[in-house]
Structure 1
Amino acid sequence: MKIALFPGSFDPITVAHVDILMRALPLFDKIVVGIGINSSKQGLLPIETREAMLRELFKNETQIEVQLYEGLTVNFCRQINASYMLRGIRSAADFEYERAIAQINQTMLPGVETILLLSKPEYSAVSSTIVRDILRNKGDVSPFVPKGTLPYL
C-alpha cells in the first residue's frame, strides 16, 4: 500500500493545500494529512479547530485520513508506515527550503521519499501566513480558504 504523509500546521488550510492534496490522490492509496503540534509555537487557530476543520473538509474522501502528531515528522512517517512525504512548492525559495528538509529526512529515514508538487500559478501567492494576517486584521479570507472552512474561521 502506497501511503503518503502530507504534513503541516494547516493554520489554516488554504485552497493551495487542498489543490496539492487532490492532485496527489491518484498517486497514492492513502494520504495522511498530519497536523503537526509544535508546543513552542502559538498558532492562530487551536489545534482542535484545525483538526475538526480538516476532518469535515475531507469526510467524503476515503483515501484521506487526518491525524495529529508531535515530534519529528520522520518518526510519524514510521508510525503510520508512510513511504512518501508530500509537499507543495510555490517558489524557488520554497524549493530550496523543501530540498534541504527532504535531504535531512532522507538521511534520517532513507525509506521515505519526498514528493514535491508545484502549486498552480493562481495559488503561488497563497500561504497560511498571509491568510493568518488577513484573519488577524478582520479581512475577507474567502478567496484563499476552502468554502467548508469558513464557519471555523
Structure 2
Amino acid sequence: MRRVLYPGTFDPITYGHIDILKHASSLFDEVIVGVFHNPGKVPWFPTETRVALIQEAVRDLNNVRVDSFEGLLVDYYQRESCDAVIRGIRNSQDLLGEMAMAHMNASLLPTIRTIFVPTSAANAFVSSTLVKDVAAHGGDVSHFVPPCVLRALAAKLNG
C-alpha cells in the first residue's frame, strides 16, 4: 500500500488544497492530510476546527484521512509509515520554498521522498492568506473555499 502525507496548516483549506488532494488521492492508496501546528504562525482557526473543516470538505475522497501533528515532519512521516510527502506548487516562489523544505527534510531523513504537484491554473493564485484577507474586507470568497469553510469564515468574522 502506498501512503503519502500532505502536510500544511490549512488555515483554512481552499479549493487549491482540494485540487492537490484529488490528484494525490487518484495516484496513491492513502493520503494523510497532516494539519501542522506551526508555533511560528497565529492561525485564525484552532487545529481541531481545521481538521473538522478538512474532513467535511473531503468527505467524498474515501482514501483521505485527516490528522494533526506537532514537531518535525520527518518524525510524523516515519510514525505513519509514509512513502512520500506531497507538496502543492502554485508558482515559482512556492517551488523555491518547497525545495528548501524538501532538502532540509532529506538532510534529517535521507529516505524521505517529496513529490511536487502543481495546482490547476484556476487555483494558481489562491492561498489561505489571500482568502482570509479578502473575507476580512467583506469580499466574496465562495469561489475559493468549500461551503463549510465559507460558513466558518463568516462565523469568525461575525463573532
| Fold shared, TM-score > 0.5 on shorter chain | yes
In structure 1, the residue matched to 2:94 is 94
CA RMSD of aligned residues (A): 1.3
1:103-143 Cα deviation digits (max 9, x unpaired): 11112112221000111111111111101111222322111
- Pair 1:13 & 2:22 matched: no
Q: How many residues align?
A: 153
In structure 1, the residue matched to 2:157 is none
In structure 1, the residue matched to 2:137 is 137
1:80-113 Cα deviation digits (max 9, x unpaired): 1112000111111111111111111112112221
The CA distance in 1 between the partners of 2:110 and 2:95, in whole Å, is: 20
TM-score (norm 2): 0.90
In structure 2, the residue matched to 1:29 is 29
Give the secondary structure class of the aligned counterpart of 2:138: coil
In structure 2, the residue matched to 1:151 is 151
Cα offset for 1:21?
0.7
Q: Is the 8 A contact 1:18 1:146 kept in 2?
A: no
The CA distance in 2 between the partners of 1:107 and 1:50, in whole Å, is: 30
Cα offset for 1:150?
2.1
The CA distance in 2 between the partners of 1:75 and 1:105, in whole Å, is: 10
The CA distance in 2 between the partners of 1:95 and 1:77, in whole Å, is: 21
Unaligned ranges ≥5, structure 1:
none
In structure 2, the residue matched to 1:122 is 122
The CA distance in 2 between the partners of 1:99 and 1:16, in whole Å, is: 19
Q: Which amino acid aligns with 1:140?
A: D
User: 1:60 and 1:120, CA in 2 relative to 1: closer, same or farther beyond 3 A?
Assistant: closer
Give the secondary structure class of the aligned counterpart of 2:141: coil
Unaligned ranges ≥5, structure 2:
154-159
Q: Is the 8 A contact 2:22 2:61 kept in 1?
A: no
Q: Which amino acid aligns with 1:35?
A: V
Cα offset for 1:151?
2.2
TM-score (norm 1): 0.93
Give the secondary structure class of the aligned counterpart of 1:140: coil
The CA distance in 1 between the partners of 2:40 and 2:23, in whole Å, is: 32
Give the secondary structure class of the aligned counterpart of 1:33: strand
Q: Which amino acid aligns with 1:69?
A: F
Q: Is the 8 A contact 2:30 2:63 kept in 1?
A: yes
